[in-house]
Amino acid sequence: MSNDREAILGRVRQALAPLPTRAAAPDWERELVLMRHARGAVDAPALFAERLRLVNGTPIASVEELVALFVSSGWRRGYCDPALAARLRPAFPAEIVFETEFDRTRVDDYQFGITAAVGAIAETGTVILNDAATSRRLAALAPWVHVAVVPRRSIHVDLPEAVAALGGDPNIIWCTGPSKTADVEGILIEGVHGPGVQIALLVD
């Protein structure tokens, strides 16, 4: 394998040696990727909610509203990040069961997963999860319903801003609406491997 390394790098150098000059790295201004609607002052939480709806996600502004949705949808059992459970549990009726451990051998028993997001992107309706903030990767992915708890102050306006804030976590994932496919005849179907319902609960 180390021979392959030397062989590849040697061939790369040989291939590039005849070039009289090398193309320079161009710089570009953030202005270039600003979307038309995002010019001027932006209310990030409002834009985030609007954009999340466009990708069939569900923005929710208060815990009461979340409880009402759970009750009306019949979601009874799921996972909740232990730190969030302490805060959210009292608002939920007793028949809705929060488990604070995620047992991967019972993956189909969890109708929902409630985990913390580290941020969001307004212009795309994206929630941002990472290894430090999100207690279980599986709990945010395998259940049919995922609730990401997003602090309002953590919402970035656009992609360049979110890229600049990536930071040092080894695994960051941007989730933009429910999991989906159009592989069969181009027909959109939601909930392929990940959640079929993606909720963002905005908190202060």
Partner 1 sequence: MKFQQIDEYAARLRPETKASVHSGSKAGHEKRTKVLFDHFIDPDRLRRIAGDIKQHVVENLDTYLPAVEAKLRANGVHVHWAATAEAANEAVYSILQARGARRMVKAKTMVSEETELGRFLEKRGVECVETDLGEFIVQIDGDHPSHIVKPIIHKNRREIATSFERHGLGAYNDDPETITRRARVHLRHKYLEADVGLTGANFVVAESGRIVLVTNEGNSRFCLAATKCHIAMVGIEKILPRDRDLGLLLNLLARSGTGQQLTVYTEFISGPRGPAQPDGPEEMHVVFVDNGRTDVLASECRDILRCIRCGACLNVCPVYRQASGHAYRSVYPGPVGAVLSPLLAGERFPAMADLPKASSLCGACNEVCPVNIPIPDLLLRLREKGKREGSDAAAAGTPAMGGWAVMASQPFAWKAALAGGRIMNVLPTKYVPVAALQAWQSRRTLPTWRGGTFRTWLHDRRKQQSQAGSAAPRN
Least distance to partner 1, CB of residue 103, Å: 11
Calculate the dihedral angle through the C-alpha atoms of 67, 69, 72, 73, rounding to the nearest 10 degrees. -120
Least distance to partner 1, CB of residue 99, Å: 14
Extract the tokens encoding 4.
């392959």
Which CB sits closer to partner 1, 8 or 91?
8
Which CB sits closer to partner 1, 13 or 95?
13
Least distance to partner 1, CB of residue 87, Å: 19
Least distance to partner 1, CB of residue 129, Å: 10
Which CB sits closer to partner 1, 35 or 91?
35
Which CB sits closer to partner 1, 61 or 159?
159
Question: What does each C-alpha distance from 127 to 120, 140, 166 come to in angstroms?
Answer: 4, 11, 13
Which CB sits closer to partner 1, 91 or 107?
107
Extract the tokens encoding 161.
């801003």
Which CB sits closer to partner 1, 36 or 94?
36
For 198, residues 6+ apart whose C-beta sits below 8 A from its C-beta are: 52, 56, 57, 58, 127, 146, 148, 175, 177, 178
| CB-CB contact of 67 with 95 (8 Å) | no
Closest listed residue to residue 58, CA positions, set 160, 200, 203, 202: 200
DSSP letter (8 states) at residue 24? P
Least distance to partner 1, CB of residue 107, Å: 6
Specify the pairing of strand 180-181 against strand 189-190: antiparallel
Least distance to partner 1, CB of residue 155, Å: 15
Size of the chain in residues: 204
Closest listed residue to residue 52, CA positions, set 160, 202, 193: 202
